[in-house]
């Protein structure tokens, strides 16, 4: 059994930021990351981020990952990193089981920060298991991490930021994106991303969805249909299109599986992306030594994941008896940064979700 003060599960922006601040306060931490690389979703984001300077706006996601990783590497005396290591078990006595190269290990922690991010939402349609039906995030990983061109002709289902950004990047990779379809009556993502892909000739068609994928051993065509205001299929609206891949981009779901193993209280809050752990202001779950930050506590953006990570690292360190020398200033600063990030039209949804959370947040 390995013993650790603070174990951070997930080395994305939230986990890395939590480790940096906890180490600054003098806590020894272990980051466990299942991928071979640290950085989470950021390592595939080749586009420049929005937000404010404090969260590295106008910097490419993969460069933000490098900054956050370097910040942790500056504390090598206190931050240990395990990559290609998956946490497969979490127990109420804070024992963690990891799997690395067919070997299981046990680690016992005083406190745990779960920052496992989110996974892609999928949905039911005929033949959705045919090879060639991808999550948009998976396509982005193939292109931007592994340099693999995923297809020649695709259709994107979903017009949120991920659908729009990945459509642009597919185009950059030489893939023909025939159209983006969206079941709602509005485009889900930022106008600037939508305008960018329209300018390069990719149409965005609202009130449309995919009915089925068609093909023998892989996707060869798709059938798309129009929807009326009650989301019923409009008669005679079927359109068959030749494609060799379908990208599904219909949202992300907080990755809370590990938390379920220790009966952490959860609630369905649609504004936060689905079932989320109930947390108090200090990001503590119903087990006060288990904290969450980033997309696992509500799907948002890298900018808020970073600030939530800093904040959670600050609080977890203090509760372990190591108060950061700038605790008071940082505590206020991080809260203000999160308020600022959520002050725009897209932040309203998160704020509403957090209000709903408060009704149950007597978990201190």
Ligand X SMILES: Cc1cc2nc3c(=O)[nH]c(=O)nc-3n(C[C@H](O)[C@H](O)[C@H](O)COP(=O)(O)OP(=O)(O)OC[C@H]3O[C@@H](n4cnc5c(N)ncnc54)[C@H](O)[C@@H]3O)c2cc1C
The residues binding ligand X (CB under 6 A) are 9-15, 32-35, 40-42, 45, 47, 49, 86-87, 115-118, 137, 140, 161-162, 165-166, 255, 258, 294-295, 300-303, 305
Q: How far is the CB of 228 from ligand X (least distance, A)?
A: 30
- 3-class SS at 267? strand
Q: How far is the CB of 180 from ligand X (least distance, A)?
A: 14
Retrieve residue 27's tokens: 């806590």
Report the alpha-carbon distance of residue 3 to residue 111 in Å, rounded.
Answer: 11
| C-beta of 113 vs 227, nearer to ligand X | 113
SS (H, E, C) 208-231: EEEEEEECCCCCCEEEEEEECCCC
Q: How far is the CB of 235 from ligand X (least distance, A)?
A: 35
Beta-carbon contacts of residue 319 (< 8 Å; ≥ 6 apart): 111, 282, 288, 289
| C-beta of 86 vs 340, nearer to ligand X | 86
| C-beta of 42 vs 210, nearer to ligand X | 42
Angle between the N-to-C axes of helices 161-172 and 136-144, in degrees from 0 to 180, rounded to the nearest 10: 40
Q: Are 78 and 66 in contact (CB under 8 A)?
A: no
Report the alpha-carbon distance of residue 273 to residue 296 in Å, rounded.
Answer: 9
| C-beta of 62 vs 361, nearer to ligand X | 62
Q: How far is the CB of 167 from ligand X (least distance, A)?
A: 11
| C-beta of 226 vs 350, nearer to ligand X | 350
| DSSP secondary structure code for residue 232 in this structure | P
Q: How far is the CB of 240 from ligand X (least distance, A)?
A: 28
Retrieve residue 201's tokens: 């000739």
| C-beta of 117 vs 274, nearer to ligand X | 117
Q: How far is the CB of 238 from ligand X (least distance, A)?
A: 29
Q: Are 338 and 308 in contact (CB under 8 A)?
A: yes
């Amino acid at each position: 059994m390995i013993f650790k003060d603070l174990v951070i599960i997930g080395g994305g922006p939230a986990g890395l930021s939590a480790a940096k601040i906890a180490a600054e306060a003098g806590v020894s931490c272990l980051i466990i990351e299942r991928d071979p690389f640290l950085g989470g979703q950021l390592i595939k984001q080749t586009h420049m981020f929005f937000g404010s300077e404090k969260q590295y706006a106008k910097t490419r996601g993969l460069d933000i990952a490098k900054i956050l990783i370097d910040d942790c590497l500056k504390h090598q005396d206190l931050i240990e990193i395990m990559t290609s290591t998956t946490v497969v078990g979490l127990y109420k006595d804070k024992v963690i089981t990891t799997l690395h190269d067919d070997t299981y290990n046990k680690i016992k922690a005083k406190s745990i920060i779960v920052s496992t991010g989110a996974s892609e939402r999928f949905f039911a349609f005929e033949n959705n298991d045919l090879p060639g039906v991808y999550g948009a995030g998976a396509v982005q990983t193939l292109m931007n991490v592994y340099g693999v061109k995923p297809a020649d002709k695709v259709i994107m289902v979903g017009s949120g930021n991920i659908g729009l950004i990945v459509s642009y990047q597919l185009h950059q990779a030489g893939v023909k994106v025939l159209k983006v379809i969206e079941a709602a009556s509005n485009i889900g993502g930022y106008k600037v991303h939508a305008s960018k892909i329209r300018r390069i000739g990719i149409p965005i068609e609202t009130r449309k969805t995919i009915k089925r994928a068609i093909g023998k051993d892989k996707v060869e065509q798709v059938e798309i249909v129009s929807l009326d205001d009650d989301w019923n299929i409009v008669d005679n609206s079927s359109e068959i299109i030749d494609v060799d891949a379908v990208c599904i981009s219909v949202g992300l779901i907080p990755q809370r599986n590990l938390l379920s193993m220790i009966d952490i209280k959860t609630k369905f809050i649609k504004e936060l992306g689905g079932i989320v752990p109930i947390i108090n202001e200090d990001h503590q779950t119903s087990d006060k030594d288990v904290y969450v930050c980033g997309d696992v506590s509500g799907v948002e953006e890298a900018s808020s994941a970073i600030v939530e990570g800093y904040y959670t690292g600050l609080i977890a360190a203090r509760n372990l008896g190591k108060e950061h020398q700038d605790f008071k200033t940082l505590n206020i600063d991080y809260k203000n940064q999160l308020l600022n990030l959520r002050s725009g039209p897209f932040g309203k949804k998160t704020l509403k979700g957090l209000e709903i959370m408060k009704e149950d947040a007597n978990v201190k």
